[in-house]
Structure 1
Amino acid sequence: MTLLPSAPPSSVQPTWTPVCALRDILPGLGVCALVRGEQVAVFHVAGQVYAVGNRDPYTGANVMSRGLTGSYTRSGETRVKVASPLLKHAFDLETGESLDDPATALPTYPVRVEGGDVWIGSAV
């Protein structure tokens, strides 16, 4: 079992939902999955898998899975981001933080890849 990226510590253990095979997510792109009633954008970028909320907090549209991925540098560290396909607001894929407004963020979800399948964790 591989966890990618590591989820922040929590006293609540997530419930894991299989969403797709890793091969179904082309590198650099995202897909949308319904996890316990929530739309989740799942990305395969730079050999890692990330999951964030699919709802763009700036427009209210469920479009983040169609966003453009890339990288940026913060404090000398290269990180990965996704830009909304509508207004191009960018978000850190690991933390969900908006690069335009630190007070705005996408929810993030723990991810694991097991047996070639992508699993998303959510609180019960």
Structure 2
Amino acid sequence: MGNGPKQKKPGSRSKIKKYKRACLTKHRAKDLDQIQDDIAKAKETGTNLNSIEFDDELPGGGQFFCFETNRHFTDEKALRDHKKTREYKRRVKQLKEEKYDPDFAAGITKEKLPPAHPVKK
């Protein structure tokens, strides 16, 4: 019998909490409000969203970037195919809706309602 280390089954770490959390947050996409802020900043400053500097470390040199989903692609065809997908269309529809306020969703801000019994003068 071998005295070496025992091997775990593939996927055995999926039940351990710290590995689950690491996998969920490692490749997290930008939230809607962050993307809306980026688009608003670009409109205010008058910069073109598609003008990105060449970067060797990004796929396709960073030239083929989708702002709505915050993803880089290797070439123009991959970007065009991505813009036909359900994921892209759903994200664009969400971005066109009212600006998402995370504080309101968390219940931090209070809604100002008219008084129930107005004071007569």
TM bin, normalised by shorter chain, reads under 0.3
More helix by percentage: 2
TM-score, normalised via structure 1 length: 0.24
Query: Between Structure 1 and Structure 2, whose CA radius of gyration is higher?
Result: 2
- Looking at both structures, which has the greater relative contact order when contacts are Cα pairs under 8 Å and sequence separation is at least 6? 1
TM-score with structure 2 length normalisation? Answer: 0.25
Greater fraction of residues in strand = 1
